[in-house]
Amino acid sequence: MATQEEVLWNCRSALAAAVGAGSPDDRVVQALAALVLGHPSPMELEEVIAAGIAAGYPSGALLKTLLRCQLFDLEALLADAQERTPLEALDALRTLFLQHQQIHNAFIERFGEHAAEGADDGSALRARAEHDAQLLHALQAQWRANGQVEFFNYFRELQVPATAPFVDLDEYYLTVGRTPRLSTVLAAGERGCIVYAPTDDPGRLVRFERYAASADALVLRIAGLRDHPQGLRQRLRVEVPGEAVFRLQLPDGEAPTAYLRDFSVSGMRLDVSGVARLRPGIQVQCSGSLGTRLRKIELTMTVLVRWTTAVGDVTRIGVELVQQQGHRELLDRLVREYEQEAIKALNMIAQD
């Protein structure tokens, strides 16, 4: 495969040709080259696009540059393939194409986000980037002052927190002391290598990716700020494993079967087949069994339809529990039982 120096040179020249700039922004060049090579990048894709827009580069020019670099990378791999067995060459090509496809999909997703926001010629993106930079700067000062870093993750939507001692920090990497609790929180995250830190903005958080580890320290790459995965939701929403079947009693007399997707102490999401969209605001009788694998509780409740949407051939509805004596207490108990089972499962994953 192409060397880092070759990809950097090709990326710089391709970007200069695409945007007509004699000396393109080196941060963008470094980030694009890292993405092509599959190395940790100093900037996430959304940051690359935001930086390119701020420098006056069209988003399409960034994608054109990336494709040219990937073609260069492919040509280098094909040249190396002559010295490999056919199966080794095929495996290398498959890995390279998968890596390129993942980058393409991410670019398309980011382009869509920026197209939705882009009517103001990038000013909203720059404002958010400045806001995020201020949040991160304040948070880094807190880490240094307090000598510790707060982390958290979600495991089946259960928030799992941890605190680790602060060790070192530079522009792109944070080093903290390695603790059993932090290992558990990492185990709860995506691929066991993603963890988050809260900021002063409840809707934004810092994403970290595990980069390196020793017996007593863990190095995390600062992967930028993200929207909170739970939004501003105040209550835990429990995803229901398997099929939890409920029966709805509609105002017109229909009694369709619904499948519960998740619930909290105040509401539920259900999938219903064979009925048109239900009008938000109507009250519906809802009955079925709910609980962990060890204990089920029979429930009959009145719920208020808050929203509906079509998901393929299914109508998904969000309902809010109408105040009824004892039902919130039952749901709260079920949520707590769910939390206990989730913690047990997480501890088993962390031990493995």
**For 181-237, what is each residue's pLDDT tens digit?**
888 888 777 667 888 999 998 888 898 888 888 889 999 988 888 877 654 444 556
Whole-angstrom distance, CA of residue 23 vs CA of residue 85 = 41
Mean pLDDT on 257-262: 84
> What global pTM score does this model have?
0.45
Asked if residue 230 lies in contact with residue 279, where contact means CB atoms within 8 angstroms, the answer is no
Higher-pLDDT residue of 335, 144: 144
Asked if residue 182 lies in contact with residue 217, where contact means CB atoms within 8 angstroms, the answer is no
68-124 tens-digit pLDDT: 777 777 777 777 777 778 877 787 777 777 777 777 776 766 666 655 555 445 566
Whole-angstrom distance, CA of residue 270 vs CA of residue 315 = 8
Nearest to 227 by CA among 108, 122, 151, 128: 128
The partner residues of 306 in beta bridges, in order of sequence, read none
Indicate the angle between helix axes 45-54 and 59-81, nearest 10 degrees: 130
Burial degree of 241 (CB within 10 A; 0-12, 13-18, 19+)? exposed
